[in-house]
Amino acid sequence: MSQQAVPIYPRQNSALVRSSEFDAFIGNAMTTRGYFTITSHDISHELIQRAFALATHFFNSSESNKCACINPDSKGLTGYMKMKSDAKLNLEPLELWQFRQTPGGVSSSGDFYPDNKWPDYIQGFQSVMLELGDHLFKIANLVLEACAASLRLPEDCLTQVIERGWSTLRLLKYPKMPATALSGSVRNQAHMDISLLTFLFGGTAEGLQVQGLDGEWIPIPAQSDDIIVVGGEMLRNISNGRLKSALHRILYPKEGEGNRITIPYFVLPRPSVSLAPLECFRNGEQPLFPEISAVKYLSQRLGVGMDETA
């Protein structure tokens, strides 16, 4: 199936702005598929390439430099982490580093925000990642406003839940393809993200796919400035299923290709926000999803011990 099976918001010569056309496009994509691609954004090619270059620099750093960015007090919410490897497949460990945009501390409502751990030895790293995160957060607000407007709901009914939220920019390095793996076989099983929305760039190697309406898998090109937006479980829950979450997966690349680095952005609510369906989405219907706070939902899904103040 061709890439055109992914709904694409038309390329323009100006910054991404709300319009009736934009709202209708987002509304149709998110109520039917749960994913779409944006080509008309104002994040420069240079900024995206700089972010990927800095991510590569970080993952190529010495173990001591990377481990200095471990944040033991964040419960896996910020800093550097190395995931467990599979010895049977002779896999290198998957590595990641991530930060949250809201400053560290505890808010007046009791929400916990972990400090970030920056690799200060890499010049320009912090400023580039903060700039990229700010751009993506602005796009997230536009998308969530459009979702609400397309359903004739208050435009801030979704954006208000991400104010001072846990939205996260992650640098992710998949290891080199092991000798035992077949090109095109599944590397990361099909899954739905926990977030409200996930923004994905193509990455440094092929492999990202999203599931189409007919069940077929649609490949997303690497080395692209386009942003694919995928709905997550939290958005599905608070909209009472009216906005869809989407399955996506990662395949192994062609033989001979190296590590795969990607930079996903997860749009997340405040920890104390309830994920029970919002009243405006229920329209008198019974809630399809239970009452649970965002932090408890994350704790259950990730298997990490958290509470309202972490």
How do residues 201-256 score in pLDDT, each as one tens digit?
877 667 788 898 888 898 887 667 889 899 999 999 999 999 999 998 888 776 65
pLDDT at 88: 47
pLDDT at 242: 96
**pLDDT, tens digit, 9 for 90 and up, residues 55-90:** 999 999 999 999 999 998 887 889 999 876 554 444
CB-facing half-sphere around the CA of 295: CA atoms within 13 A: 19
pLDDT at 76: 80
Q: How far is CA 36 from the centre of its chain?
A: 14
What CATH topology corresponds to 33-302?
Answer: Jelly Rolls (2.60.120)
pLDDT at 179: 66
Listed by start position, the domains of the chain span 33-302
Range 275-283 average pLDDT: 93
Backbone angles phi and psi of 305, in degrees to 5: -70, 115
pLDDT at 220: 80
**pLDDT, tens digit, 9 for 90 and up, residues 5-18:** 788 887 666 678 88
Give the separation between CA 122 and CA 204, rounded to whole angstroms: 20
Burial of residue 11 (number of CB atoms within 10 Å: 0-12, 13-18, 19+): exposed
**pLDDT, tens digit, 9 for 90 and up, residues 119-164:** 999 999 999 999 999 999 999 999 999 999 999 999 999 999 999 8
Give the separation between CA 51 and CA 263, rounded to whole angstroms: 8
Backbone angles phi and psi of 150, in degrees to 5: -65, -25
Model pTM score: 0.89
